[in-house]
Every structure is written in structure tokens, then in C-alpha cells.
Structure 1
Amino acid sequence: MSDVTFLRQREPVDEYGRALYAISRSILRAMLDQLSTQDLTDLNVDRVDVTMRQLSHYVRLERDKGMRGDGFEWAVHEAIAGNEPLVTELVADALARTSPKVFRGSSGTSSLLFGYERAKYLGFLEAVVENAGEEAVLLPDSQGRPYRFASDWLKHAAQGATAEVLLGERIKKIWKTDIFLSDENARRYAAATIKSNHRLLEGGPGLRVAIVPAATDLRPGVRYDRSRGLWLTVLPDPDGFMGLFNDAYWSVASAVYTIGKQERPPYYMKPSVKGQRVAEQIEKYPTAKVIDIENALDEAAQQHLVEVKHQLVSVEAPEWLHINELRTPVIAPRPHFEPLD
């Protein structure tokens, strides 16, 4: 099990600026919560007394750059595992298009989390194979023989980009897989990549499906992305919460980069104009306690926009694999979906 902090929208956004304060407050709190007992010992301070400067110097967003996107992967997996129809229907549609003879007419979907970053943990690969089953196979394309999960390619994929020479041309990019998708029989799988920002999508041999949230320039639905060779599955986000979450995340991140004197990410990873104003206000209080900044943000925020929910999410691993002791908790917006017309 893995401890995940979900940010879930409770009320419609009625004023963007106040909504930004609300999300920024929760993200800041989640960052503070991520400090372990050892971290606090190194800082020689109790959690409630951690200052914004201490947090900014200690947190390394570049090192943990997958934190935000990782949370979105968990959210998608949870939606499939929970049989959320507004997610599973789109995923089933995409699967049916990747291999019509195999998946068309299926009555359900299933998923296996992968991600080579996770695969380094003791027992994770064994858990993937165990949950897939002895007869499980990967369908990397529409022709040729499938790959058995209980073979060496999965171990190679866990090594990341360095293993491409070992994987062969048909599954050269399979290491980029975030989740393996199948129907209710969970025997034949297609590899999928998941991104919280569709502009960061990358395709390649072995990958069949891409899952992303809707954006202002990307409408919901399923269609083929010829440039990447992927069946694009765009999950609807009717209230624009994912965009709001991203803006708030980069607002807080911008303040952390400035106060902590950290190297900034590429220019396109920055908040909106209003988000920059949020960051500038946080930057005014480097010596203030994080808790006090939270309280100030709380006063300015829409009080009931966000609820913070801590829960355990299955990682498809045996009971003895305690990933929560080895991983940094992740921040994730919990998808909220509406029926498609």
C-alpha cells in the first residue's frame, strides 16, 4: 500500500484567484507532510515550526519531479480498479481500437501499475507477474507473437532507457509504460503511458495507449495520435480542475525555487499571471512558519473548495512489500468526470 494525498474538488470554482489560494494551501500542506521523522531530525525542528525557507531548501522538486504526474497515474489506476464507468468506458474504447479482434466486445477493464521507477523496489516485478498470471501476455503491436510476462523483457524494462538495446525493436520503448491495460479476463495486455500534461507525451515501439486529462486545446474522447503512434484517451475534466491544480502546483513550486535558491525548470513550466502573484506573496515570508502561511492562504481561499483525503491505494504488490516505507508520498488531483454527450 502507498500513502497518497488526494486533492478532491468539493465545490465549483467561482473565483479563480481564491481557488488558486485554496489549492496552493493544500499543496503546501502536502509538501510539509512529506517531511519524514529523519528529515525533521536533520532540520532539528518540529513539523509545526518548519519555516518556508527550511522547507524550500530541503524539498527538491527537480529530484521529485515525477511526484505530481505519479499521483495522476495512481488516480487513473484507482478509477479503473474501482470500475468508474466514465473512465473505464473510454479505456475500453481505446483498447478495442488497438486490437479489435482481442478487446472489442469486452465487458470490463483491468490494469496493472508498472513504471520503471517503481520496479526497482524489492519484489515489485514479481508482484506484477503474479497479478498478471502465468498465461498473461503483452500485445506490443497488431502483428507478431506476443510477449509472456514471465520472461526477461519485464526485467529489462525495469532498467529504464539503458535497456533499450536488450528489448529489441518491437518493444524498444516499453520501459516508458506506466500501466498495463486489459479487459475483464486480464490475460492479454496493452502498454499505456499516462501524463498529467498531454504536451509531455512520448510514444515508441511497444506503447499502444496514452491517457491524459482534457485541456483547453484537447477535447475529451478517444482518437489516434499519428505523430506518436498512440491511441489517445482523453479523460474529461469539465470544471478545469486539472488545469487549476497544475497552476497552483507551479505557483508553490516557483516560490520554493526562489526561496530555496534552486535551479528553475524549463520556461514553460511556470504558473499563470495570477499564479505568479500567489508565488510572489509566498516569497515575501521566507522566515514565517509554513503553518502560518497556510493559515493566511486559508483566509484568502474559498473555504470549502478542496478536501484533503489520505487513503491507502493498492499497488498490486504482495503484503510483505512495504512501498510506503520506501517512497515519497505523492500529491494527486482525484479525477472528477461527467457523462459525455
Structure 2
Amino acid sequence: MKTLTISVAAYNVESTLDKTLASFNDPRVYDDLEVLIIDDGSKDNTNQIAKKYENIAPQTFKYIPKKNGGHGSTINKGMELATGKYFKVVDGDDWVDTSSLVKFIEDLKSQDSDLVLTDFTEMYPDQSKNINLIKNVEPAKEYTWKDKIDIKRVVLHTLTVKTNLLRKNNVHITENCFYVDVEFVTWAAYVSQTITYFDLYLYKYRLGEADQSVAKANMLKNIKMQEKVSYQLVKMYDSFTKNNKMLPNQEETIFNTFRRSIGSTMRTYLLMSLGEAKSRTKTFDKNIKRLSLASYQRLNNDNFIRLIRKGNYSMLPLAKVMYRIWVKKYGY
């Protein structure tokens, strides 16, 4: 059994995939690492780049072509085929720090935690920013959700999870849709019991490019996909809370992940005309309330969502102006 399987979501990524795969290509990890390059029906030269690395190290790199089904389908296929004890997702336009990967895999060999968390770096065209979402934990020490740990939220870039845990709980991610990584990380946090953190800036997350799904223009274009994922998260959170299996610390971490996605959809509405922004926000919020009153009420703990709802959405025009200023200044 391999120590780690990395599932690479690859769709028309010929311009970035070589950098992604090169970051895994180190003979020191060949025996312990499996890289599944899940080609989601690409129409460019993604397959040629993937096959190049498969030829370099066939014991590590495996090219998996499939019909187009969206990001979630690549995660589902990766979970199905993975042979590693641990499972991690890396997008085909991102990469890892190779030296950190070598150390990380060595550390994983002695691990048995359900979740293994690391740090990541946001990589912009002209700068980079290290991100740490985990506080009050000792590196390499195993914790449970009963412990007083501070995990701000779980994101794809920080997460590595036991493969058999995903399979045992029949984790399945929505297909034919963007923005579903939050479903994956929410599931992982829910089914886990033990957590270990390593202070490694392992994942390099590319941002600031116009072709990305998280670019504002594309988020506007794909707003229905954001809504679809948001509604799925509402149903997931409602189901998880009704099962009464979450510990308080676990619930808080999952809620912080969940509310950020709901808030992101609402912020996308703020980029629309005032009339459409208000109409879409009210409909979206009404649907959340219809799907789960408990989730709707819990979301009032988010300062931004509470502001948007205030006075029957009377603060929305001010929020819209403020958000446009923010986007112009910071770009996100």
C-alpha cells in the first residue's frame, strides 16, 4: 500500500499541469506516493503532459482519462481508485512545495490520524501569502475534536484524509459543478475523529488569474453553481446536526467552513445591479430557510450575513458599495 494518494483534477490544464506534476516528481517519494491524474475530458494537450510523467515514473504517476463530469467527478474517481492510506486532492493549476512533500510523506508513515492538516501559500502573479488556519495545536501531536484546538475552517489546500474513512462513509461529491471542494472538506471533517497538524506550507494555491473559477467574472457567470453547492451544504449541515454526532468543536469548524461558502454566494450577488442583487439575495435566503430553519438561524452568527439580512435587507445597498471598494482594492 502507498502512503499517500494525490488525486489531480485535470481539465484543459496544459499550461499549468507540467508545473503541478513536476512538484511531485522526486525519486525519494516514488515508492510511497501515488499520483492519479484524472483527465476530465480535456480537449487540449493535458493527456500528453500526464503521459510524460507516467513514462518517467509509472510506479507513481497514473493517467486516468474519463468523460467530462466536473471537479466533483474527479474527486469521486480519485477516491474510487486510490491505493494510498491517505488521500489528498490537488488541482491541476496548483502545485506543492517538493521539499515539504518529501518531509510530509515521511511524517505520514508514522501517522494514524483520520485528518492530517498542513498550511498553504496563496500564490498571486506578483506576490505570495502564507496562510495558517490552525491555532493552539502542537505539531505532530494527535488530537480529537474533544480537545481545545482552534481550526478556523477546513479547506482543500490544508486537508489530507484517510482513504478508507471516505469509502466507509460512502462520501460522494456533487458532479458537473464548480465550487464543490467545500463539500469534500466538510465531509472529511464530519467523518473524522482524530486530527494531527504539521507546520508545513505544503500546498501552493494559484490565485489572481482571470481563467480561474474563483475569479469574480466567472463567479458571476457560474452563480447557479454556487447556489447549488450552497443548498447542498445547507442540507448536509442540517443532516449532520440532526444526527447529534458532532462534538462542539467539530460543529464550530464545520460551521465556519459552511458559512463562508454561503457568504461567498451572497457576496457574488453584490456584484450585480442593485435590484437584481436584492432580489437574488432574498430568494436565496428564503430557500435556505425553507431547506433548514436551523441552518438559517445558525447563519445569523456570521457578521456579514446578519448585516445583509438586517432591516429586511435594507443594508444591502451599503454592503454592495463597500464590497465593490474591497474588490477593487484587494481583487477578491
TM-score range, shorter chain: under 0.3
Which structure shows the higher helix fraction?
A: 2
Taking structure 2 as the reference length, the TM-score comes to: 0.21
Taking structure 1 as the reference length, the TM-score comes to: 0.21
